[in-house]
Amino acid sequence: MSYTIVVRVIDASDVGFSLVEKTVWYYANGGTWSNTNGIQTLVMGGSGTSGTLRFKSGDGEAFLVAVGVHNYKHWCDVAVDLTDGDTSMKVQPTYYESTDRAKVREEQLSEITRKNSKGRSISVKYVTQDSNTFHAIVTVS
C-alpha cells in the first residue's frame, strides 16, 4: 500500500531558505519526490520509509525536515544546526539506526518544533489526512 505526504513550506524568516536537497529512504520500495508550484510531494511504496528535505540560507544556516510512515502511521522530525557535511544522504540513515533520531521516528509525532542555535524555530505539523495521503506544513520563523 503506497503513502503520499504533501509538504507545504512557509518561510517567514528574515533570511530566506532554499531547498537544496531531497532524499528518499530505500525501505518499502523507496519512493519519489516531486514539486508542483513549490509544494513538495513524497510518494512512498509502503510503510517503513521516509523522505527528507534539506534547506539552507545564504548565510549558511541549514536544517532538515524528515517525514515518513512507520508502522502505518505518519511521523516527522526537524534536524537543526547542520554543518555543510550534514547532507540529507548522511543524516537520513540515522533515523534507522540506534540513535535519538530513530526514537523520534518511533514516537510517530504529528508535529514537532525545534529551535536552532540562532533562536530560529522550524516546525512540522500534519494538518489533514485523506486515506493514505497526509498533508504537512513546515513553518520557518
Dist. CA 99–CA 115, nearest whole Å: 20
For 16, the 3-state DSSP assignment is coil
pLDDT at 40 (0 to 100): 99
pLDDT per position as a tens digit, 44-77:
999 999 999 999 999 999 999 999 999 999 999 9
Mean pLDDT of all residues belonging to the chain: 98
Q: For 105-111, what is the mean pLDDT?
A: 98
User: 25-48: string of b/e by CB count within 10 Å (b at 16+)?
Assistant: bebbeebebeeeeeebbbbbbbbb
pLDDT at 88 (0 to 100): 98
pLDDT at 41 (0 to 100): 99
Q: Given strand 39-44, what is the order of strands in its sheet? A: 31-36, 39-44, 3-11, 133-140, 121-130, 111-115
For 99, the 3-state DSSP assignment is coil
Q: For 16-29, what is the mean pLDDT?
A: 98
What percent of the chain is predicted at pLDDT more than 90? 100
What percent of the chain is predicted at pLDDT more than 70? 100
pLDDT at 9 (0 to 100): 98
Q: For 15-40, what is the mean pLDDT?
A: 98
pLDDT at 94 (0 to 100): 98
pLDDT per position as a tens digit, 91-101:
999 999 999 99
Looking at domain 3-140, its CATH superfamily turns out to be Cytolysin/lectin (2.60.270.20)
pLDDT at 101 (0 to 100): 98
